[in-house]
Amino acid sequence: MDISIFGLGYVGCVSLGCLAKNGHKVIGVDVSETKVKQINSGLATIIEKDIDVIIKEEHFKGNISATTNFIIAIQKTEISIVAVGTPSSAKGHLNLNYIFKVAEHLGDALQKKDSFHTIAIRSTVFPGTIEKFEKIIETISGKKRNKDFAVVSNPEFLREGTAVYDYHHPPLTLIGSSSKEAADKIASLYKNLPAEIVITNVEVAEIMKYVNNTFHALKIAFANEVGNICSAMKIDSHKVMEIFCMDKQLNISPYYFKPGFAYGGSCLPKDLKGLQTLAHDLYIKAPVIESIDKTNNLQISRALEIIQNIGKKKIAFLGLSFKAGTDDLRNSPAVTIVETLLGKGYEVQIYDKNVHLSNLTGTNKDYIDLHIPHLSKLIVNNIIDLVDNADVVVINNNEKEYVDTLLKTKSSAALVDMVRLPQQIRKRNNYYGINW
């Protein structure tokens, strides 16, 4: 295909070379005459392993050229890739002037173009940017998005130093679009790469680069804090993290990466506190590890705020234990919520088939005796009556019984969902999800 690439910096230059190497005719567009001359001389605009050879070879074959004339570049191509810079301010806000200038250029050029044009944004942008980008093009060109042109989000995941390798071996190819035609066309550029092509909505694709890189930064900070603790105890930190990474079932897996309610139980709070105490006793500063329980407490506060803002006093809880399939009430965030609501004068009743008061023993019983000593007065055995008579129903655990009950009940109670119930329930009026 014939492709124009706006921006001949890091991402633009790598994309220019790799797309040409994969058999496409590619025109680079940049306001810098120096960069344009470099490409037209067969020279890369960046220092990066292998890209200099690729640019030289593909220029020699006639697959690569560059220009400062955006009109010509757009008229000659069916796809435009936007890879201009989006530098951030000291406070983290993005400078999107270069992005929106490209939108203006596209608007001007598309006035005179009859064929459908597809635009892919590879630059890192905040969610909502592409919508503004489309509106600029529509206003200037008089054309309609998804009819005369379409814009998709196609974030790059290239690491400096291995960018060419990363281009040809991505973890996945992500495309966010409201146009199937545009999504399929961009997907075809990557069909021969050994990675799954994921097509989703635009806003999800726009935020992914931020989520990915923030998590990468978190991993580095976490590993360094573990390393500092291990170093103070003369433990081999690399061996510790090597074994940590061997666990693909829990440590490196999707298991814990589901937004929702706070964690609880006996293990996570206890062991987190233990590692925090160990760091403190060793005089090691570990702000990431120290902040984990603070974030968890904020999630409990968020849930409490949602319930209180509904403005009703008669509350039903479906599930009290810290997760489905257990009777463990220790450090259950639901216990904290119930305890707080009772203290504020709310009328609370609870259904949890796994919690049998007569069988509570040991630390589990001690925990309840300390926090909700009159729990026996709050527990009910009829889930249907509980839901039908409540003003607010809080779903704390993902038990099938709770889902089945909510699907068949005609209760008009507000639903506060901590577990992400099925879509059929989430569509109801008076529904509140904690993270969705």
Q: What positions carry a catalytic annotation?
A: 267
Rounded Cα–Cα distance for residues 304 and 86 (Å): 38
Q: What are the Cα distances from residue 254, in Å, to 167, 194, 249?
A: 24, 21, 9
Q: Is 313 helix (H, G, I), strand (E, B) or coil?
A: coil
Q: Give every CB contact of residue 369 below 8 A, 6+ residues apart in sequence.
A: none
Is residue 215 left, alpha or beta, with left meaning phi > 0 and alpha meaning psi from -120 to 50? alpha
Q: What is the DSSP string of 183-195?
A: HHHHHHTTTTSSS
In the structure encoding, which two tokens stand for residue 317, read together? 């809880």
Strand order in the sheet with 25-29: 64-67, 25-29, 2-6, 79-82, 117-121, 149-153, 173-176, 197-200
Q: Measured between alpha carbons, how far is 265 from 19 in angstroms, rounded to an integer?
A: 51
From the list 107, 257, 81, 254, the residue with the least C-alpha distance to 175 is 81
Hunting for tokens 């020699």 — which residue is that?
Answer: 60
Query: Measuring CA to CA, which residue among 1, 21, 165, 15 is closest to residue 84?
Result: 15
- E strand or H helix at 251, and its extent? none
For residue 430, give the H/E element and its range. none
SS3 call for 197: strand
Task: Give the contacts of 222 (CB within 8 A, at least 6 positions apart).
Answer: 288, 289
CA distance 381 to 404: 16
Nearest-angstrom CA–CA distance, 5 and 9: 10
Closest CA to 314 of 371, 392, 368: 392
